[in-house]
Structures are given as structure tokens and as C-alpha cells.
Amino acid sequence: MIGTLIGKTIIKVEKLFKFNASSFPGEVILKLFPNYLKKIKYPELVIMVTGSTGKGSTVKLLKEILENNGLKVCTNEEGSNLIYGVCTTVINNVKGKKLNADALLLEVDERYLKFVSKHIKPKYLMINNITRDQPPRQGSFDIVYNEILKGIHKDTHLILNGDDPILKKFSLIHTGNITYYGIEKTKYSYKEMNDIKDYEYCPKCHNKLEFEYYHYGSVGNYKCSNCDFKRDNISYSITKVDYNNNEITINKKTKIKVNNYILFNLYNIISTYTISKVLELNEDKIIDTINNSSINQKIFNEFEINNRKYTILNCKAENNATYNLSLIYTAMDKEKKTIVLGLRQISRRYKHFDLSWLYDIYFELLDDKSIDKIICAGPYAYDFATRLKYANIKEDKLIILDDLQNIKETIENKTSGNVYAVLNFDYVKPFIEKVKEETK
């Protein structure tokens, strides 16, 4: 096809000049040939993954599992998840009119699903979560829900987190298959934490949802106080989390190794396990792949400096869920500790100055005896400090730094205990580099 030829040529020229814009070739081809993607013959197995967070991690893990089961898998690069990036991926992997793979596995931006699925019909669609995320771009979670809905084909098999009422809402409309996964009550589940609520009303009849327990936000075991809307039909769930042996149990029998207990990590594992089971892949190979996977490095990093344990938790500004899960994780450690909060830039996409989301985060969890000091670093340090003040944290516990210049000395000389750095993703690398610098 002429489109493929031009596309492949652009990619070659890009490589020649070491210029790597993953969406550009796709953009050119879709402008020249708007129906290009419709004309390609795809493998029967087309899987798409969407949602506010965890798309990249789940795609990476699922790809490994599929490959270990002997399938040739085509995926898009992490973050190239708009229609043009997807098109570039297709161009790269097409031979003649046919995609040269046994499975096409795509991470798709939640607002672009409707464009992508118009051209490429997914047999399976995993929706990880819909959380508050980049309000200036996304509006609200209702808007994101409706955008995703527009991209769902009637007969697509959905894989959903059954603990999340906003995802369960798809069952009110969707006529195709749905498989749910979840996590049963753990020792860190809670009945009532504070007044920060995400999704508390029944999408069917608008009456109050009752929660037997929460894992975070409005994710947990819910049922409507009035109608039949409730968490049910969970096919695969984590029935036990063994916090001493780094192990989880699925459906009371399958044991899997994990390297951290951040809920997002557990949800990524159970969702990937679930679709692998739906695809009837080899159980031993699924478990083996997950046991040996390193997907968690992106959100979680642990090391030791001068006999102090450092844990780096990677969060996303304007997304309260990523912070809440990180804070819940720090609270599991009852030993003495120091917390570092830092952020360089609210968004790379726009210059708005909205910090409302800080008030949707349970910073009240940091009002705890085990915490020695809290360091707020970066251009928004005072905004973080103000938030902590309204979480009843005394000012003498706070250390404010304009940037990361003196972070190493500050941690080493002015704080004690395990270090938990709850950082926006743009501060993770600079922070790790600074604290690992050799002392002069």
C-alpha cells in the first residue's frame, strides 16, 4: 500500500537524522489517507488498555505474558497513545496489507479511544480506572466516562475493576461480555477515613452507595442503599495479601510474588492476570512472568544510603489517587520516618496554576507520631506546606526548600528514620541523582 510505503519512508528518514517523533509519521499518513488504518488486516486478538493511570505498566506486563506464551505481539511505545502514535505503530509493523503479529496490544488515551476504536476494533478492552486527572484538560470523571463510552463496541469483551463503582457503571449499558477483577478486604482497608470522597452515589438511581470497606477513594466493596447496583460477579480477586512474605493469593489458591504493596501495583497485577486467564493462557507461564517482572520500577524504587532506607513513590500532579495510594503506603510503615514532598511543574501540557487537587489528597495521614520531619521541596513548597498546616501538622515538623540543591544534606543532617519521597514524576530522577551523589 502506498500509505505504508510513505509512512515507512518517513520513519527511516527520521531515524537517519536521529529524530524520533513517534506520532509524526502516523499523522502524515492519516492526513493523506484518512482510512489507512481501516484497510489493514489485523490479527484476531486485538487488546486495548485505557484509563487514567497504569496503562503503560499493564501493557508492558501483558506483553511479556503473551510473548512467554509464544505469541508475536505488536504494541505502541509507552505514551504514544493518541491516534497518530497508534498509526505509527501500525506502519512500523505492517507487511503488505497485514499486521505482522499474532496480537495487537495498544495503550490508548482515554479521550482518544473513540477515534482509535473506530478504525481498529478491539476484541478486548481493559479499563483500569477513571480518576480525577488533569482537570483543565479532562474536565471531570463524568466527561472521561462518556468519552470512553463512545469508543466501546457493543460486542467488545470488557475487563473491569469490579471494586470501582464508576467502572461498574459500564455494565448498565454494555451488552457484550464483562469480566471483573478486584481485591478483597485487606488489613489496611478502612471503613471511613475522612471527608474526601470520589464517587458516592449510585449511577443507576442516584441514592447513596454503602461501603463495607474502602481500599482508597470510592474503590472498595459497595452496594446501593436503594437498588440492586453493587459489587458482584468478581471472577478473579486477590483474596490474601501476605505483607511479610511479599506474596499475594488469587482466588484462595494461586500465589504470586510482588515487590511492593502499592494498591495500583496490586490492581495492575490482578487486571493483567485476569485478561490472561480470559485468553486461556498457560497458568504457570502467567505466574512465572509476573513473578519475574520488573514493571514496578516506574512507580516504586527502594535503596539504602548510610543505613537509611529510601523509598521513592512516583506520583502524578493533578491526580489525587496516585498521591493517596502513596500516602496509604507510607502509613503502613510504623517505624520512624521522614517524608519528602516535591513537584517541579504542575503540567507539561499547560501553564495553569491550579492546586485544588492538593485538597483531594489525604495529607491528614501524615499527622502521625512516627513522622519525624516533612520536607516540602520545589517551586510549590509553600502550597504543600499550607496544605499540611490545614491537615493539623505543626510547623516545627516542616522543612521548606526552594529546590533540590541541598536535599541530600538536609535529609542527612536534619531528619531521621526511613525516607519516603512522595514525588511528582518530574522530581523522581533529579531527587535520586542528588541523594546518591558522593559526599564531597
Task: Tell me what percent of the chain is helix, strand and coil, each rounded to the nearest 5.
Answer: 35, 25, 40
Residue 395 in contact with other proteins, rule: CB under 8 A: yes
Question: Of the listed pieces 51-59, 151-159, 386-394, 423-431, which binds other proteins according to CB under 8 A?
Answer: 386-394
As given in the structure block, the three cell numbers for residue 77 are: 511505545
Give the nearest distance from C-beta 144 to other proteins in angstroms. Answer: 10
Residues 64, 184, 360, 426: which binds other proteins (CB under 8 A)? 360
CA distances in angstroms from 60 to 76, 125, 258, 269, 348, listed in the order given: 10, 15, 16, 11, 24
Give the nearest distance from C-beta 229 to other proteins in angstroms. Answer: 15
Checking DSSP bridges between strand 398-401 and strand 94-95, what pairing results, if any?
A: unpaired
Binding mask 129-148 for other proteins (x = CB under 8 A): ---x--xx--xxxxx-----
Residue 385 in contact with other proteins, rule: CB under 8 A: yes
Element (H, E) at 265: helix 263-278
Residue 304 in contact with other proteins, rule: CB under 8 A: no
Checking DSSP bridges between strand 178-183 and strand 98-99, what pairing results, if any?
A: unpaired
Residue 358 in contact with other proteins, rule: CB under 8 A: yes
Question: Of the listed pieces 36-44, 242-250, 287-295, 379-387, which binds other proteins according to CB under 8 A?
Answer: 379-387
Neighbours of 222 (CB within 10 A): 25
CA pair distance 33, 2, nearest whole angstrom: 9
CA distances in angstroms from 85 to 98, 119, 186, 303, listed in the order given: 18, 14, 39, 35
CA pair distance 46, 301, nearest whole angstrom: 32
Q: Are 273 and 260 in contact (CB under 8 A)?
A: no
Nearer to other proteins, 157 or 387 (CB): 387
Q: Are 401 and 381 in contact (CB under 8 A)?
A: yes
Residues 356, 368, 416, 429: which binds other proteins (CB under 8 A)? 356
Residue type, 259: N
Nearer to other proteins, 287 or 376 (CB): 376
Residue 401 in contact with other proteins, rule: CB under 8 A: no
Q: How many residues does the chain have?
A: 440
Binding mask 105-134 for other proteins (x = CB under 8 A): ---------------------------x--
Residue 38 in contact with other proteins, rule: CB under 8 A: no
Residue type, 133: D
Residue 365 in contact with other proteins, rule: CB under 8 A: no
Report the candidate in 324, 418, 300, 414 with the shortest Cα–Cα distance to residue 370. Answer: 418
Residues 210, 354, 403, 412: which binds other proteins (CB under 8 A)? 354
Binding mask 180-199 for other proteins (x = CB under 8 A): ---------------xxx--
Question: Of the listed pieces 3-11, 375-383, 417-425, 430-438, which binds other proteins according to CB under 8 A?
Answer: 375-383
- Tell me which residues touch other proteins (CB under 8 A): 132, 135-136, 139-143, 195-197, 200-201, 206-208, 352-360, 379-380, 382-383, 385-387, 389-391, 395
